[in-house]
Amino acid sequence: MRYLGIDPGTTIIGYGIVEDVGSSLRPLTWGVFRNPGTDSVADKQATAIALADLITSYKPQSAGVERLFFMNNAKTAMAVAEMRGVIMLTLAQHGIPVVEFTPQQVKRGVCGNGQAKKPQVQDMVRMLLHIKEKISPDDAADALALALCCSTARQKY
C-alpha cells in the first residue's frame, strides 16, 4: 500500500509518499511543488498537473491532506483553501480516498503529543522512515508526516 501526504500552501505545496513494506514503512519520494503565488488559474492548473504526474508515477492508494486551520489573514486563508480545493479535486479525479488531519492530529500521530514543535515532528519522521539527512524544506517533512498518519488511519479500517 502506498500513502501520499500533502501539505497545502499557496506558493509551496509539500508532498511525500511512503510505502507499506511488511511491518514497516519506507519513503519513496518527497519534495515540493512551487508556484509564483500570483493566485492565478495558471498557478492552480500547474499544481494540478504536477500532482497528477506524481500520482501517475507512484500510484498511491490513499492520501492524507492537512485540514485548513484558522488563519488571521483572510486573503491567505482563501488562497490556501482554493489550492486545497484543487488538490482535493485532483485526488478525486484519480479515485484516491482522502483522510484529512489537523496539524494537532499530525503532531499527535507522529510524536504522541499534539503540541509537539516542528523540529520534534521532523526528527520523528526521519527516525520512523530511517532518513539520515535533514528533510528540506519543512513542507516536505510535514507531507511525509501526513503520509505516516494516513497509513495509520487506513490500518484502522
- Which amino acids are annotated catalytic? 7, 66, 139
CA 73 remoteness from chain centre: 22
Q: By the 8 A CB rule, do 51 and 131 touch?
A: no
Burial class, 34, CB count within 10 angstroms (exposed 0-12 / middle 13-18 / buried 19+)? middle
The CA R_g of the chain, rounded to the nearest whole Å, is 15
